[in-house]
């Protein structure tokens, strides 16, 4: 009886953790020259990294899965920009110009993504609240528009910089 319970618990843990590990690999399909970094202990730490390019801009992705009782999972997508100084979300909003940039900001806000610029990187932070399996299944129809919107905002910030 005990081995059966152990197998059921192990299967449940694997089913809950598997979408997180697949998420970064599936996200890599949106990038050119993707490099996924998942160490041997990524399952335990919950950290995964991805780098590559999207529309000729460097992109870096960090996924942190929830691994502790008081730890929260999050996803950071960063895109290289020429805006060198740090900007918070309101400053990004103020400096983003043009109709395409404004639409892009709306797209990012609709996905509950927080924006900032740090050290030449436009960053979006997704930290969902409430009950959900994070990050869930990867959806190209959700994340490709996010990358397109980031590209538009980064381009707008580049013209201001």
Domains and CATH numbers, the chain: 2-160 (3.30.1460)
pLDDT band at 12 (very low <50, low <70, confident <90, very high): low
pLDDT on residue 39: 67
pTM for the model stands at 0.82
pLDDT on residue 147: 97
Residues 6+ apart with CB under 8 A from 49: 24, 36, 37, 38, 60, 61, 62, 63
Of 148, 145, 150, 127, nearest in space to 62 by CA: 127
- Count CA atoms within 13 Å of residue 103 on its CB side: 7
Beta strands in 14-73 (DSSP E): 32-37, 47-54, 57-64
> Mind listing the pLDDT tens digit for each residue in 78-100?
999 987 678 899 999 998 988 99
The pair of structure tokens assigned to 129 is 């609240």
Would you say residue 57 has pLDDT above 80?
A: yes
* Residues linked to residue 78 through DSSP beta bridges, in sequence order: 60, 123
């Amino acid at each position: 009886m005990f081995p059966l319970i152990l197998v059921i618990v192990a299967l449940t843990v694997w089913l809950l953790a598997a979408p997180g590990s697949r998420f970064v690999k599936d996200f890599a399909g949106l990038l050119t020259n993707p490099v996924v970094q998942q160490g041997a202990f990524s399952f335990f730490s919950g950290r995964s990294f991805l780098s590559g390019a999207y529309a000729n801009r460097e992109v870096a992705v960090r996924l942190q899965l929830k691994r502790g009782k008081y730890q929260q999972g999050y996803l950071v997508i960063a895109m290289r920009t020429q805006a060198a100084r740090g900007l918070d979300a309101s400053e990004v909003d103020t400096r983003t110009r043009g109709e395409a940039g404004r639409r892009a900001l709306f797209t990012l806000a609709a996905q509950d993504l927080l924006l900032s610029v740090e050290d030449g990187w436009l960053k979006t932070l997704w930290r969902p609240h409430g009950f959900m399996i994070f990050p869930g299944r990867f959806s190209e129809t959700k994340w490709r528009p996010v990358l397109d919107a980031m590209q538009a905002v980064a381009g707008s910030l580049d013209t201001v910089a």
